[in-house]
Every structure is written in structure tokens, then in C-alpha cells.
Amino acid sequence: MERHRTDVVVVGSGPGGATLARQLARAGRRVLLLERGRDWRRSPLYGTYPGALLYADKHALLFTREGLNIVRPLMLGGATSMYCGCSAPPASWWRERWGIDLEGHAREAAAELGVAPLPPELRGEASTRLAQAGTALGMDWQPQDKFMSPGRTGPFDCGARCMLGCRCGAKWNAAEYVDDAVAAGAGLLTGARVERVLVQDGVARGVRGRIGRRELEVEAGTVVVAAGGIGTPVLLRNSGLAAAGQGMAMDTTAMVYGLSPEGGIGQDPPMTWSAPDDDLGVLYSTLIDPWLMYPIVMAVKGPAYPFTWPRWGRTLGVMIKLTDELSGEVDERGGVSKGLTAADRERLRAAEEVAGRILRQAGCRPDSILTTPLRGTHPSATVRIGDMLGTDLQTEVRGLYVCDASVFPRALGRPTVLTIIALARRLAQQLLAAATPGQDTATPVLGAPARA
């Protein structure tokens, strides 16, 4: 049994866990961050197809019982290792409905990370043509804010494969905040899978799990679970909080493709333009699956569809992201049930029609237009504020907090990461304010939290 003792133990290194660990460590708190995956950033496989199959849960073949494919990266940095780098400010309902003011935290983080749209010449010629077609139909297409700084570490080289992991270094990844946390003194254990929270008399005492073949126990006065929209409810259910994982949101996504004589968007950075329709509850954007993922995704649609693969280079894609209703569940073994409700289905049909019109306006052949199978990249709202959490993100167990996409009270229908970072900055501020001098100064059992 490997044992540690610390002030705050954080489970999961996605944007929620990484931000919290960084903010607390920089303020001098003793933090230990536990991540079940490994750091792939310096591996030659990072950002490649074999790499993506290794670090995505179930080799990217994770499906809900209803057949929706979930992309769930398990690695340092969490899903920001494979995200599209899009940013959106927190919705106004956080403040209006819940009294949670995230705007200042989001503004600070966005300024620090240089969030902005890509410059016009890097938005992709075909993607820009698609956005112009949408604009010609009266829609409000705008350049999409990005967590990307082209040329930061080398030449900018971004296409659809950017979603396998960023190889050119332009895209910010939460693993960078983990680096900052470690530089500020936080401990980090990778390959450390937490199985349950230790609770005594209604108070969190630490966590238990495994690191490789060894058992792992961490004693801590504050436990923050940030294992993502699926990992967090699994962990809480196995710790006796049975309501976790009842209902979830996914911002369920489909792409509508069309064959364009003028060339496709596969070499463009993903999602450089977008257009929200808040009345319908849909976000449209420019997106196509990476080259080798295309036939795999199409095989799920039906046996004839992979034969459209040769068109990939001339395909335009309109992404539809639905602000879906809460439904389904995550069970204690990580099995997920999530489909679309009747209302979601109806909105999806309406959005498909809009996407089809945009593609025809952009010159695509009407008989080439088709919709991909559904997928989910934003598992969220599984341990919701208002149901299981106070607005301080604390559970019914004192000292046990949640800080990731699980806490959303509903689907965002927008990029999630900036909102999660803002929630984590706010929680860090709250924990620091609550810490009385002299408290939480426990000494380590096996020395200071060790770096893996």
C-alpha cells in the first residue's frame, strides 16, 4: 500500500482538476493531483491515429447503450488533449439562475491564455467559404474564439487531425496547467486510478485506489473530484453517493457532409467559424472527421457509407451541436445510457435541414449530402449543482467537492472548457478564503507528494 497525506487531493487532470491544482499550489497549499492516464505529450505516438486509439477510452469505441459514440480521452490534460481548442464565455444563466459569477474568472483566464479567433489567413479557405454561405442565408456566422496561439512552439500545421492531439504546439492543453502546478510544488501521480472517496462520519478523509499493481491511499482534509462527466459519477456512486450519474447532458453532435467541387475542409483547422441558434438550441460550426476516422464513423452509419471515403478531400462539413435535454445515466461501472429525447430528435431534424441548405448554398451536390451518426464529446451534468451540489460545489459529504463538467446544471450547448476553468478558479478562491491559518498542515506519511 502506497500512502500519502496532503492538504488537498485532486482526482483528474482535465481543465477542472488542472486549474484547481495550479491555483491552490501557487497560493502555497499542499496539493496532490492523481491522474489515471499517462502524460503522452512527449511520445512519438501523440497526435497520431495509433496514439488516439491508445489513449481514448475503449480505443475510441465507447458507445452508449443507444449507440452514441463517446470520445473520452484518459490522459494527462483530460479531453483538452483531443479537443478542438474552441472557447466560449460562460452563459449568463450561471449568474442569473444560480448566482454563480464566472465572468471575471473567465475573462482573466482567456486573457492569460490568449484566447482569440485565428487570424483570417489561418481559418481555412473552404471553412471560410462555408461560413460565407451561411451568412448569405441570413445566419450570424462568426470567427470562433480559440485556445490557440499559432507559431507558439513551431510552424502552425493544423487540419482535422488536430483532434488526435496537437503536434504543432499551437493549442493550449490543461496538461500545461499541471506543469505549472508541479512547478509551484504540487505532487503529481500519473497511472493513479482512484476507486473511492474515504468518508467518515459524513466528512471526507481522503481517497483510495490503485497505482499500477499497488494499492494507493491518500489522506486529505479536502477532496476534489474532477474526473470528468463520466469518471466523477462512477467514483461518487462507488463512494455511497447513489444519486450521482442519474441523468446527463452530452451536447450531442452530428456532422452534415456534402461534396464540393471546390475542395473540402480536411486540411483546415477544426471549427474556425461558428453560428449559434439559441432559439433552436443548436451551435453550427465547420468540422470534418480526420481522414482515417471518416470510414470508421461511416461504417457505423451503414455498410455502403465507408465507400464515400474517397470524397474526403472534397467534403465540406457543418457540425451540429445540440443543447440536449437531461436523460440517461452513468452506472457504477462506467456504462452509459444516453440517447436523444423526442424533443432533441425534432430539433436535430430542423438543424439538419439548415445544414443542408448551407451546403447547397456553398455549391455542394444535393445528392451528396448526408448526416453522420451521433457522437458525444461533452459528457456533463451528471453531478449537478442544485441536485447533488451546493453552489459552492460541495457534496453532502463535508470536504468533498466536485469541479469539472459534471457540475453543470444543464447542457451548455457551447464549448465547455473556459466555463470549467472559471468554475475551478472560483472554487480555488473559495477554498483559499476558507482556509484558516494553521489548519491543513498535516505532514506526509511517505514524504511530500511525489512526482510520478
Ligand X SMILES: Cc1cc2nc3c(=O)[nH]c(=O)nc-3n(C[C@H](O)[C@H](O)[C@H](O)COP(=O)(O)OP(=O)(O)OC[C@H]3O[C@@H](n4cnc5c(N)ncnc54)[C@H](O)[C@@H]3O)c2cc1C
Residues that bind ligand X (CB under 6 A): 11-17, 34-37, 71, 74-75, 78-80, 82-86, 163, 193-194, 226-229, 231, 235, 377-378, 404-405, 415-417, 420
How far apart are CB 71 and ligand X at their closest, in Å?
A: 4
Do 268 and 84 touch, CB atoms closer than 8 A?
no
First vs last C-alpha separation in the chain? 16
Report, in Å, the least distance between residue 146 CB and ligand X: 8
Element (H, E) at 5: strand 2-11
- The cell numbers describing 214, all together, are 499497488
Q: Which of 191, 201, 227 is nearest to 40 (CA)?
A: 191
Distance in Å, CB of 17 to ligand X, minimum: 6
CA distance 249 to 270: 23
Q: Can you say how many angstroms the Cα of residue 12 is from the centroid of all Cα atoms in its chain?
A: 12
Q: Using the minimum distance from each CB to ligand X, give the nearer residue, 239 or 315.
A: 239
Helix 15-26 with 417-434: angle, nearest 10 deg: 30
Give the DSSP per-residue string, 251-299.
--EEEEEEE-TT--STTSPS--EEEEETTTTEEEEE----TTHHHHHHH
Shorter beta-carbon distance to ligand X: residue 265 or 369? 265
Long-range CB contact pairs, 54-63, < 8 A, 24+: 55/81, 55/165, 56/82, 60/293, 62/336
Least distance in angstroms from the C-beta of 233 to ligand X: 10
Identity of the residue, 76 or 364, whose beta carbon is nearer to ligand X in the bound complex:
76
Rounded-to-integer distance, Cα 273 and Cα 290, Å: 18
Between residues 267 and 419, which has the closer beta carbon with respect to ligand X? 419
Residue 24 Cβ vs ligand X, minimum distance, rounded to whole Å:
15
For the CA atoms of 146, 416, 229, 177, what is the dihedral angle to 10 degrees? 50
Residue 377 or 394: the one with the smaller Cβ distance to ligand X is 377
Specify whether the CB–CB gap between 152 and 166 falls below 8 A.
no
Q: Classify burial at 422, counting beta carbons within 10 Å of its beta carbon; exposed 0-12, middle 13-18, buried 19 or more.
A: buried
Which 8-state DSSP code applies to residue 66? T
CB-nearer residue toward ligand X: 31 or 405:
405
> Which lies closer to ligand X via its Cβ, residue 13 or residue 395?
13
Shortest spacing between CB 126 and ligand X, in angstroms: 19
Complex with ligand X: residue 9 or 280, whichever CB lies closer: 9
State the cell numbers at 440.
Answer: 491543513
The distance of closest approach from Cβ of residue 270 to ligand X in the complex, given in angstroms and rounded to an integer, is 7
CB of 438 to ligand X, least distance (A): 30
* Least distance (Å) between residue 250 CB and ligand X: 10
Nearer to ligand X, 110 or 417 (CB): 417
Residue 73 has, within 13 A of its CA and on its CB side, a CA count of 26
